[in-house]
């Protein structure tokens, strides 16, 4: 799966803070969260979807979901004239249904499910597990790589490690839902779990419902 390294893929910090501008080619635009850029580019390449372009919003919007709908609206308005179709590669992502309502208003499709870690695992499987696993804290490949930017620093744990249990005291384990087989990421995720004082579990998901959804949108 690691044909994902693309010359057009920015580094993770850029995807977190700035996102990705489209290459201005193709007829269909995937408007996505920056946390999904690597996986989407890998799927575009693996499937030979030459007609597809990718634009990403800053992944750090994950931490302020109330800002996602407006950012999506502005991006759709900005890019709409240049493409025949736009698909939104976001799940609900903590927007409480507001993103789905916006998609309906704009007439575009989005990925079903509550979060990326749900559709990577497969929404049905994730939902079935959720009843028994609500004390789990989830990370994906991207979130493992960007753990400090998404978790440690925004929660102030770099400055106030004593707050850890206020945030994570009721959690029991960190579940790393792995898109790729990467021993270095496995080791880093294990270290993240230790820093949060949680047990560790790794589950390989591949691209899950993301691959299926993109195939349904873009496949011949």
| Sites of contact with other proteins (CB under 8 A) | 65-66, 92, 94-98, 114, 127, 130-131, 134-135, 154-157, 159-160, 163, 166-167, 170-171
Kindly state the tokens that stand for 24. 């201005």
- Residue whose token pair is 């302020």: 64
Q: Smallest distance from the beta carbon of 172 to other proteins, in angstroms?
A: 9
Which of residues 171 and 200 has its CB atom nearest to other proteins in the complex? Answer: 171
Nearer to other proteins, 65 or 206 (CB): 65
Residue found under tokens 């087989």: 181
Q: Nearest approach, Cβ of 84 to other proteins (angstroms)?
A: 31
Question: Measured in whole angstroms, how far is the alpha carbon of residue 9 from the centre of its chain?
Answer: 15
Cβ closer to other proteins: 160 or 203? 160
Tokens representing 175 are 């579940």
Q: How far is the CB of 98 from other proteins (least distance, A)?
A: 8
Of 171 and 217, CB closest to other proteins: 171
Q: Which residue has the tokens 């991006």?
A: 75
| 105 burial via Cβ count (<10 Å: 0-12, 13-18, 19+) | exposed
Q: Which residues does 185 contact at the CB level (< 8 Å), separation at least 6?
A: 141, 144, 145, 176, 178
Minimum CB separation of residue 27 from other proteins in Å reads 33
């Amino acid at each position: 799966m690691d044909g994902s390294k693309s010359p057009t893929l920015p580094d993770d910090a850029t995807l977190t803070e700035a996102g990705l501008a489209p290459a201005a080619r193709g007829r269909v635009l995937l408007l996505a969260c920056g946390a999904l850029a690597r996986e989407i580019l890998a799927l575009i390449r693996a499937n030979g979807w030459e007609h597809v372009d990718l634009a990403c919003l800053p992944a750090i919007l994950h931490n302020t979901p109330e800002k996602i709908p407006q950012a999506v609206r502005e991006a759709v308005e900005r890019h709409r004239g240049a493409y025949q179709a736009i698909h939104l590669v976001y799940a609900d992502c903590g927007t409480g249904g507001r993103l789905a309502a916006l998609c309906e208003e704009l007439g575009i499709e989005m990925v079903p499910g509550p979060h990326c870690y749900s559709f990577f695992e497969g929404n049905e499987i994730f939902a079935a597990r959720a009843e028994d696993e609500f004390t789990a804290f989830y990370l994906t490949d991207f979130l493992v790589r960007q753990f400090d930017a998404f978790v440690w620093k925004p929660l102030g744990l770099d400055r106030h490690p004593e707050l850890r249990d206020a945030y994570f005291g009721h959690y029991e384990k960190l579940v790393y839902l792995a898109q790729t087989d990467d021993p270095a990421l496995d080791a880093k995720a294990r270290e993240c779990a230790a820093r949060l004082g949680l047990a560790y579990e790794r589950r390989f998901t591949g691209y899950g419902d993301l691959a299926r959804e993109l195939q349904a949108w873009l496949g011949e």
